[in-house]
Amino acid sequence: MTDKAEAPRILQLSDYKWFRARKLESAPADQAELIVRRLGLQDYEPIWKSMRYRAEHPPKNNTDEIWLLSHKPVYTQGQAGKPEHIVKPGKIAVVQIDRGGQVTYHGPGQLVVYLLLDVRQRKLSVRDLVELIERTITETLDRLEIPGKTRARAPGIYVDDAKIAALGLRIKNGCSYHGLSLNVDMDLSPFANINPCGFKGLEVTQIADFVEQKEHLMQSVSNILLDRLLQNLGYEIQTHRKLKSD
């Protein structure tokens, strides 16, 4: 695979619902516009190629985007990932990608949020963005009365000793892509076939194990997390706005 990405021909963003976030009154006048898209259940590679292409060809209209979705079953291996951490992938595809970190698993019932931000214009360092993502996740879990916490030298969010959320980023041309994954209500068994994020024996957990709600749990968690993320980025909470079609 070459470093130069071809324009993606599969994912058509115009097929999906979106809304434009409103800036907080206290936000800087030059703060970027922000589009939020809900993309449903997606194959991994078309999404990855689409967000990579966007970072390689930054939009000139000062507009950032957030994509919310879930993936069909896939293992993704970070650019410095070690093959020994993929113990027994079985029939699930392994995709070598360009984010940081080691191998992880994505599947239905997991909330994935990709942050396509002009971090240069926003004056966000990688550390700033990582801390913003981790804060967003812990605030989301706090709303659900789940005690999430960070760990030194182990990015992500943990409940007791089990990982509930992972994150990985790539910056290109001053633009971020990739983002976070939060286990909501999913089959966790594929994690047993890898060393999650490069840690042998690391346990994983999910929100469904801590709450009584099961019906529409993904929608509820998605709305809470999006509210927290919008506010942390300097936009009004507005998850109940009517979504638009292009």
pLDDT for 239 equals 53
Provide the residue range defining the domain that includes 70. 13-233
Could you read off the pLDDT of 86-103 as tens digits, one per residue? 999 999 999 999 998 899
Residue 243, domain member (yes or no): no
pLDDT for 125 equals 97
Number of structural domains (the chain) is 1
Question: Are 178 and 170 spatial neighbours (Cβ–Cβ below 8 Å)?
Answer: yes
Residue 163, domain member (yes or no): yes
- How far apart are alpha carbons 16 and 125 in whole angstroms? 30
- How far apart are alpha carbons 95 and 81 in whole angstroms? 11
pLDDT for 2 equals 44
- How far apart are alpha carbons 66 and 45 in whole angstroms? 17
pLDDT for 5 equals 47
Low-confidence ranges of the chain (pLDDT < 70): 1-10, 238-246
Residue 6, domain member (yes or no): no
From the list 111, 159, 197, 204, the catalytic residue is 197
Q: What is the DSSP letter of 31?
A: P
Residue 131, domain member (yes or no): yes
pTM: 0.92
Residue 221, domain member (yes or no): yes
Q: Is 197 a catalytic residue?
A: yes
pLDDT for 3 equals 47
